[in-house]
Amino acid sequence: MKKQISLLALLCTASGAYAESAPKNVIYMIGDGMGPAYTTAYRYFKDDPATKEVEGTVFDTILKGMAHTYPDDHTYVTDSAAGATALSSGHKSYNGAIAVDTEKKPVRTMLEIAKERGMTTALVATSQINHATPASFAAHNESRNNYDEIANDYIDNKIAGKLPVDLMLGGGTQYFIRDDRNLVNEFKGAGYQYGDDIKNLGQITQLPAIGLYAPKGLPFALDENSTRLTQLTSTALNLLDNQNKNGFFVMIEASQIDWCGHANDIACAMAEMDDFAKSIEKAKAYVDKNKDTILVVTADHSTGGLTLGAHGQYKWEKEVVKGIKATAGKLTGLLMDSDNLKSIWTTNTNIEYTTENQIKLEQAKKMGEKALNLAIKSIISDTSFTGWTTGGHTAIDVQVFAYGKGSEQFIGSQNNTDIADKLIGFIEK
Ligand SMILES: [Zn+2]
C-alpha cells in the first residue's frame, strides 16, 4: 500500500495536482470497537418496518474500504491504545502503547504535525478525554493506564512552544482536578475557556477551550442523553469553523460503542451507534458546506465478537432491541433496588415476563448484582438472537468510510497505519 501512495503522490506531483487535491480541514471520526457487525446491526435496527426494503444508513453512503487492525506483538488482537497509535501516527505498536513505539519511544502524531503546521487542533470523546484513543493523538506514554500523566501531557507536551490541543470536549474531571495538580486552573491560566455543564454547551464561546462533562466517561447514550456526541460534534465544528486560514484537525471518538461491546449489551451498543451516526451526519453536512474538508470514519477494532443470529435460528429480532430502555448495568441497579421485578422489567423492556424469565431473574438476584447483570443480558441476547463470542476485542478487519476532498484515496483493503499515512500526507501538504 505504501508503494501505491508514493506512486499516487508522484503522479499527482508530476501533474501539479497533489497540493490542490489535499483538503485543508481534517475530520477524523473513530467508532471505538465498531466492527462491521455493528454497522450491519444498526442498519436493521433503523429499518422502517413499513417498507419492504432495508434502508441504508449514513455509513452506507460513505463506505470506501476495509482496514487491518493487528498490533505489533503477534497477538493479532489489538487494544484501543495500539489501535489508536496506528491510526494517529502510522506506527504499529504493542497493546497499551500511547503514541510510543515498541521501544517505548514517542512517535509523532498527526495532531502534533497539524499543530506544527499552524492548524487548529481538537479532540472530542464520550470517554474521559485522556482515555486511550484521544490520548494517542496528543500524549505519549508507555501505558494507557497512566491517566494522570496522560492528562499532564495535554499541558506539558508543547508543540512549537504551544499547548498541543486547542479544543478538548469529553469527560475526565477527576484526572484534571487533582490534589497534586489542578490542570483546569493551568488551562485557564494559559487562556483556555472552561466548561463543565453539558446542558450549557454555549458556555464555551471561543478557542482555546476545554469542556469536561463527567468525572470519567459521560453517561451511556441509552441511559441519559442520547445525542451527547452529536451535540459535542456540532459544538466543536462551530468553534473550529473559519478559525484559521491553515485549517483544522479534529478527532471525534464514539468511545462507548466499545464499552457496550465489552458488556455484551446490544441495546447499549445500538444507542451509541445512533449517536455516532447522527454525529457523522453533522460532519457530512459540514463537508457539504466546506468542500476543502476530508471526513474519514473508521474503527480501531471490533469488540465482543458481536453477530446477528444465534442458537441455529435464522433471525435477528430488532424490535426486542428497540424495546429496551436502559443499559443492562442500569437495569441491574433498578432490579436490585425493587421488590417488583415484573414492573421494572415490563417498563424497561418489551420482553415478556414469562415464568422462565421470572425464575431466572429472581434466582440471579439472590446470587447478587453480577449474576443478575449476566441473567439480564442472557435474556436480551437469547430473545433477540444476538451472538457474542468474547468480553474482549476481536481481530477482524474494520470498515473505512470517507467523504469529501481526497476521499477516493481510502478505497480498498489497507492497513490501519495506511489511513494515518494518507491523512498525514494531507496535513503535510
Ligand atoms: Zn475495548
Q: What does the pLDDT read at residue 14?
A: 41
Q: What does the pLDDT read at residue 429?
A: 87
Q: What does the pLDDT read at residue 73?
A: 86
Same domain, 152 and 247: yes
Same domain, 279 and 332: no
CA of 261 to the centre of ligand 1 (A): 8
From the list 80, 136, 384, 407, the catalytic residue is 80
Q: What does the pLDDT read at residue 12?
A: 46
Range of the domain at 339: 308-387
Q: What does the pLDDT read at residue 243?
A: 87
Q: What does the pLDDT read at residue 20?
A: 64
Same domain, 217 and 277: yes
Q: Could you count the other beta carbons within 10 Å of the beta carbon of residue 118?
A: 12
Same domain, 181 and 266: yes
3-state secondary structure 152-177: HHHHHCCECCECCCCEEEEECHHHHE
Q: What does the pLDDT read at residue 228?
A: 98
CB 397 within 8 A of CB 66: yes
Same domain, 189 and 216: yes
User: Which residues crowd ion ligand 1, with CB under 5 Å?
Assistant: 258
- Beta-bridge mates of residue 394: 302
Q: What does the pLDDT read at residue 13?
A: 44
Residue numbers of the chain with a pLDDT score lower than 70: 1-20
Angle 322-327-330 from CA coordinates, rounded to 5°: 140
Beta strand pairing call for 293-299 and 398-404: antiparallel
CA-only gyration radius of the chain, Å: 22
321 lies in a domain? Answer: yes
CA of 392 to the centre of ligand 1 (A): 7
Same domain, 372 and 405: no
- What amino acid occupies position 215? P
CA of 174 to the centre of ligand 1 (A): 21
CATH of the domain at 273: 3.40.720.10
Same domain, 159 and 49: yes
Angle 80-86-87 from CA coordinates, rounded to 5°: 85
CA of 326 to the centre of ligand 1 (A): 21
Integer CA distances (angstroms), 7 to 10, 96, 203, 275, 409, in order? 5, 34, 47, 38, 12
3 lies in a domain? Answer: no
3-state secondary structure the chain: CHHHHHHHHHHHHHHCCHHHHCCCEEEEEEECCCCHHHHHHHHHHCCCCCCCCCCCCHHHHHEEEEEECCCCCCCCCCCHHHHHHHHHHCCCCCCCCECECCCCCECCCHHHHHHHCCCEEEEEEEEECCCHHHHHHHCCECCCCCHHHHHHHHHHCCECCECCCCEEEEECHHHHECCCCEHHHHHHHCCCEEECCHHHHHHCCCCCEEEECCCCCCCCCCCCCCCHHHHHHHHHHHHHCCCCCCCEEEEEEECCHHHHHHCCCHHHHHHHHHHHHHHHHHHHHHHHHCCCEEEEEEECCEECCCEECCCCCCCCCHHHHHCCCCCHHHHHHHHHCCCCHHHHHHHHCCCCCCHHHHHHHHHHHHHCHHHHHHHHHHHHHHHHCEECCCCCEECCCEEEEEEECCHHHHCEEEEHHHHHHHHHHHHCC
Same domain, 216 and 115: yes
Same domain, 412 and 274: yes
Same domain, 137 and 65: yes
CA of 210 to the centre of ligand 1 (A): 25
Integer CA distances (angstroms), 328 to 325, 333, 375, in order? 9, 9, 10
171 lies in a domain? Answer: yes
- Beta-bridge mates of residue 303: 393
64 lies in a domain? Answer: yes
CA of 184 to the centre of ligand 1 (A): 28
Q: What does the pLDDT read at residue 1?
A: 42
Same domain, 337 and 200: no
**What is the sign of the dihedral through the CA atoms of 68, 71, 75 and 81?**
negative
Catalytic residue at 338? no
281 lies in a domain? Answer: yes
Q: How many distinct structural domains can be found in the chain?
A: 2
CATH of the domain at 318: 1.10.60.40
CA of 316 to the centre of ligand 1 (A): 24
47 lies in a domain? Answer: yes
Mind listing the pLDDT tens digit for each residue in 299-314?
999 999 999 999 999 9
Same domain, 365 and 420: no
Q: Could you count the other beta carbons within 10 Å of the beta carbon of residue 337?
A: 8
Take residue 170 and report the three cell numbers written for it. Answer: 469529553
CB 35 within 8 A of CB 300: no
15 lies in a domain? Answer: no
CA distance 97 to 94: 6
146 lies in a domain? Answer: yes
CA of 394 to the centre of ligand 1 (A): 10
